[in-house]
Amino acid sequence: MICKTINTQQETQVLAMKLAAMAKPGDVICLSGDLGAGKTTFTQYFAAALGIDELVTSPTFTIIQEYQGRIPLYHFDVYRIRTPYEMEDIGYEDYFYGKGVCMIEWPTLIEPLLPENHLWIELTVTGEFERNICLRGTNEYYEKKIEELFKG
């Protein structure tokens, strides 16, 4: 696991863009952190870097929003989920093991359903524009991504 301080929103943008440049079909990225930590903001920069020009928001009543970019983006926000059955209803496995990249806000709420291998990102508010970001990969594939992210 690696943790860094982010001082500006631009730094968040740079990280999200780099991660998007490395994104491959089947990638699963979990974005954890309180309300206002920057999960959706991170996803917006990530989406833009994938070539998605639609506005990415956190939908209140849909768990998943799909966007077409260089590769598809499956944006999950499971904040309002009450039972895992809601995940079954949307056929979540088709997304988790599909042809796009999954970005999941509030992953702790569906932790038992997450694919075994994923990239876990934790954002913590430490100031108006300052954030602490911690990244952990469950396997070498994701650990390599983290290494790449902070190279040079």
Give the strand pairing for 2-6 and 64-67: unpaired
**41, 117, 124, 132: which one contacts ligand ADP (CB under 6 A)?**
41
Name the token pair of 48: 């833009």
Name the token pair of 150: 């902070």
Least separation in angstroms between residue 99's CB and ligand ADP is 25
Taking CB atoms, the residue at the shortest distance from ligand ADP is 38
Cβ atoms of 98 and 106 within 8 Å: the answer is: no
Least separation in angstroms between residue 98's CB and Mg ion is 22
Name the token pair of 123: 């954002």
Question: What type of residue is 24?
Answer: K
If one asks whether residue 65 binds ligand ADP (CB under 6 A), the answer comes out as no
CB half-sphere exposure, 65, CA atoms < 13 A: 19
**75, 118, 131, 145: which one contacts ligand ADP (CB under 6 A)?**
131
**71, 109, 129, 136: which one contacts ligand ADP (CB under 6 A)?**
129
Name the token pair of 131: 């954030």
Residues that bind Mg ion (CB under 5 A): 39-40, 58
Residues that bind ligand ADP (CB under 6 A): 6, 8-9, 12, 33, 35-41, 58, 105, 129, 131
